[in-house]
Amino acid sequence: MTDPLFLSIAELGAAYRSGALSPVAVTRLALERIAACDEALNAFITVLGDRALAKAATAEAELRAGQDRGPLHGVPVAIKDLVEMAGVPTTFSSRAGSPREGRVDAPVIRNLEAAGAVILGKTNLLEYAYGAVHPDFGQTNNPWNPARTSGGSSGGSAAAVTAGMCAAALGTDTGGSIRIPASYCGCVGLKPTYGLVELDGVQPLSWSLDHVGPLARSCADASLFLGGLTGEPLTLAAPQMEGLRLGIMQHEGADRWLEPGVVARFDAAVKILERAGARIEVVSIPDISLASDAVLALIGPEASLVHQDLIASEPEKFGVITRMQIEAGFAVPGVAYVRAQLLQQELKRRFAALFDRVDAVISPAVPWVAPAEDPPLNDDSGPGEMLYSGLYNLVGLPALVLPMGLAGDGLPAGLQIVTPWGADALALSIGTVVETAIAPLRPDIAKLKR
């Protein structure tokens, strides 16, 4: 029998409704998987075992009584540990201002629980989602090879989904923090259109660039989870691939970073899309090479303002790199910040013009497979890691990452699909074409168990 923890959300729902599986039984299995594998992965900071079992029992009773809350009813999920939940501590993977006891549920939590989702716990992240591991919390390791990183900052959510600890998880993305871990772990991650998912109750990093979105094992699951986050179901139409115009986005200097295995998987993904009927052309937009610099110029001062009280009152409680980044952000020149905003607006206009010509834009998600550790934002490799991702935080377009196969060292690489504002469902629909042509990627869970 298929491992119940690797069933799709639709399969899980069908099994619940037929009586083949129950929310309590699946929640127990998920908690057992976390207990068995999390020593190797370090994906969870807080496991809410009793709470989850109680919620699962409620979901089970409701389903038996015919009270059906929809596709997420009884489905085990996880939450990045920077979202407020009533009565639950939030650590932000930091010692500064942490742990903070939640007073109310963030709207995304309210929406997910109203949809019947069972929250198993809160997942590890880079400290305050700001690009660096706090040593007390440690790195989330990659389910494909625990000697490699899961990426950041939503690495805990990506690892948990990939290892079958939960069916889907909430992540946040300010420069690639959903999509980079999705690429490294071989799962699906969507940074939705800017503003689609409410940010209230989610710890900010940079209000100009912050997004909340799903990590899941398929585009269909990501779609269902996104609907749970917003409270508005998202309908995935069958992809109309014949004549679909896809642009391969050119990135100046990418050759410096791109690994041959990633290039090979990307070329194979393009062929899949072409065979499905898409018309492929190469596209470019002037000045996108400046996007990562603009992202840094926006994050710097915004993150410093977000943390101005904590950096003054308990600076030593931040990790070394996070502390330096927050301190340096106070000195970002106004001219650099405004130039970043001007570039942001201009690139939006250029993308709007591009989308008159193509329906979607594709690229690799990250130029390489998972490294041993996450590169710092400001060293030589940091800009390379967000070469393909930060640009879309800047312009707010929906950007989906899904696995395109194993690319090197037995590690996955991701394909990024970007569509116009509000066309999140189109990105997911195109993604289904690729994922149905590629065998599902499953890491060897037995190797992770203690």
Partner 1 sequence: MRKANVSIRVDADTVQRLVGLGGLDLPAERAKALLPLFSALMASWNRLAPVDPAWAGQPAPEAERKT
80 as an active site residue: the answer is yes
Quote the distance between the C-alpha of residue 381 and its chain's center. 20
Q: Least distance from C-beta 423 to partner 1, angstroms? A: 9
98 as an active site residue: the answer is no
* Beta bridge partner(s), residue 363: 416
| The only residue of 100, 245, 348, 442 in contact with partner 1, by rule CB under 8 A | 348
Stretch that binds partner 1, among 245-253, 269-277, 329-337, 385-393 (CB under 8 A): 329-337
Q: Least distance from C-beta 172 to partner 1, angstroms? A: 19
* Torsion on CA atoms 22, 23, 27, 30, rounded to nearest 10: 70
Stretch that binds partner 1, among 105-113, 163-171, 325-333, 360-368 (CB under 8 A): 325-333
Stretch that binds partner 1, among 68-76, 118-126, 249-257, 332-340 (CB under 8 A): 332-340
Stretch that binds partner 1, among 11-19, 35-43, 171-179, 351-359 (CB under 8 A): 351-359
Stretch that binds partner 1, among 83-91, 108-116, 239-247, 303-311 (CB under 8 A): 303-311
Does residue 316 interact with partner 1 by CB under 8 A? no
Tell me which of 98, 150, 177, 208 is the catalytic residue: 177
Q: Least distance from C-beta 338 to partner 1, angstroms? A: 8
CB nearer to partner 1: give 24 or 311. Answer: 311
Tell me which of 94, 153, 223, 363 is the catalytic residue: 153
CB nearer to partner 1: give 10 or 352. Answer: 352
* Beta bridge partner(s), residue 362: 248, 417
Q: Which of residues 410-439 bind partner 1 (CB under 8 A)?
A: 420-422
Listing DSSP states for 250-315 in one string gives --TTGGGT--HHHHHHHHHHHHHHHHTT-EEEEE--TTGGGHHHHHHHHHHHHHHHHTHHHHHH-G
* CB contact set of 229 (below 8 Å; sequence gap of 6+): 108, 111, 112, 170, 197, 212, 213, 214
Tell me which of 80, 122, 154, 157 is the catalytic residue: 80
CB nearer to partner 1: give 329 or 414. Answer: 329
| The only residue of 35, 36, 263, 336 in contact with partner 1, by rule CB under 8 A | 336
Binding mask 368-407 for partner 1 (x = CB under 8 A): ----------xx----------------x-----------
Does residue 29 interact with partner 1 by CB under 8 A? no
CB nearer to partner 1: give 11 or 293. Answer: 293
Amino acid code (one letter) for 385: E
Q: Least distance from C-beta 346 to partner 1, angstroms? A: 4
Report yes or no: 428 and 222 within 8 Å, Cβ to Cβ: yes
Q: Which of residues 183-212 bind partner 1 (CB under 8 A)?
A: 193, 195-196
- Separation of alpha carbons 262 and 179, rounded Å: 15
Listing DSSP states for 72-83 in one string gives TTT-EEEEETTB
Of 417, 439, 435, residue with least CA distance to 276:
435
Report yes or no: 212 and 166 within 8 Å, Cβ to Cβ: no
287, two tokens: 């000045």
Amino acid code (one letter) for 77: V
Task: Count how many residues are written for the chain.
Answer: 450
Q: In this structure, how many other beta carbons lie within 10 angstroms of the beta carbon of residue 66? A: 6
Q: Least distance from C-beta 300 to partner 1, angstroms? A: 7
| The only residue of 74, 152, 175, 329 in contact with partner 1, by rule CB under 8 A | 329
Q: How many of the chain's residues bind partner 1 (CB under 8 A)?
A: 43
22 as an active site residue: the answer is no
The answer to whether the peptide bond before residue 99 is cis (omega within 30 degrees of 0) is yes
3-state SS assignment for residue 208: coil
Of 326, 254, 261, 295, residue with least CA distance to 94:
326
Does residue 254 interact with partner 1 by CB under 8 A? no
Listing DSSP states for 325-373 in one string gives HHHHHTT--HHHHHHHHHHHHHHHHHHHHHTTT-SEEEEESSSSS--SS
Listing DSSP states for 122-160 in one string gives EE--SGGGSSS--TTT-PPEETTEEEEE--SSSHHHHHH
Does residue 301 interact with partner 1 by CB under 8 A? yes
Q: Least distance from C-beta 158 to partner 1, angstroms? A: 26
Q: Least distance from C-beta 159 to partner 1, angstroms? A: 28
Provide the binding-site residues for partner 1, judged by CB under 8 A: 193, 195-196, 287, 290, 293-294, 296-297, 300-301, 304, 308, 311-312, 324-325, 327-333, 335-336, 339-340, 342-343, 345-346, 348-349, 351-352, 355, 378-379, 396, 420-422
Q: Point out the residues that are catalytic.
A: 80, 153, 177
